[in-house]
Every structure is written in structure tokens, then in C-alpha cells.
């Protein structure tokens, strides 16, 4: 997959959660990220991470942990 797709994929996951929290008057500060991947693709992960971290930074949210697993 080309890099814009991975970045777009990352930025599609968080906005609904951020919007739901804002609607309840909450201000998110931290995020956890869990990924299940069939294999590690360095280029895909780099693009996905950049998209996720750009969005987190734009909203003042810090990634504090998570989990990765192989989904075979």
C-alpha cells in the first residue's frame, strides 16, 4: 500500500473517539494503540505511525502505550 493510505488509515481511527469525548466535555490527554498485523512491514508502520502521531499532536494527546500482535 502506498504511504498516503496508511497515514489516512491512522487518521480515520481516532477522530470519532476524540469527537465522542469532546461531546461529553472531556479533554483527552493520553492514548493507547493496539495493532494486530499479519507481518511487520516497515514502510507501512512508518506511514501509519506518522499519521497517528500527527493527529495525536494536533489534539494534544500523548501515546502512552499499547500492544502489537501477529494476526496470522
Predicted pLDDT of residue 29: 93
Tens of pLDDT, residues 7-62: 556 666 667 788 888 899 999 899 998 888 888 889 888 888 898 899 899 989 99
Whichever domain contains 33, its CATH number is 3.30.1330.10
The 8-class DSSP code of residue 28 comes to -
Task: Give the number of domains in the chain.
Answer: 1
SS3 assignment, position 48: helix
Q: Which domain holds residue 48?
A: 3-70
The residues that bridge with 23 in the sheet, in sequence order, are none
Going by pLDDT thresholds of 50, 70 and 90, the confidence category of residue 66 is very high
Predicted pLDDT of residue 10: 64
Q: Is the pLDDT of residue 1 over 60?
A: no
Amino acid at each position: 500500500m502506498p504511504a498516503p493510505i496508511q497515514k489516512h488509515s491512522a487518521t480515520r481511527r481516532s477522530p470519532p473517539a476524540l469527537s465522542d469525548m469532546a461531546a461529553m466535555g472531556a479533554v483527552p490527554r493520553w492514548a493507547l494503540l493496539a495493532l494486530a498485523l499479519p507481518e511487520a512491514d516497515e514502510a507501512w508502520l512508518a506511514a501509519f505511525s506518522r499519521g497517528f502521531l500527527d493527529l495525536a499532536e494536533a489534539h494534544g494527546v500523548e501515546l502512552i502505550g499499547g500492544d502489537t500482535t501477529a494476526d496470522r
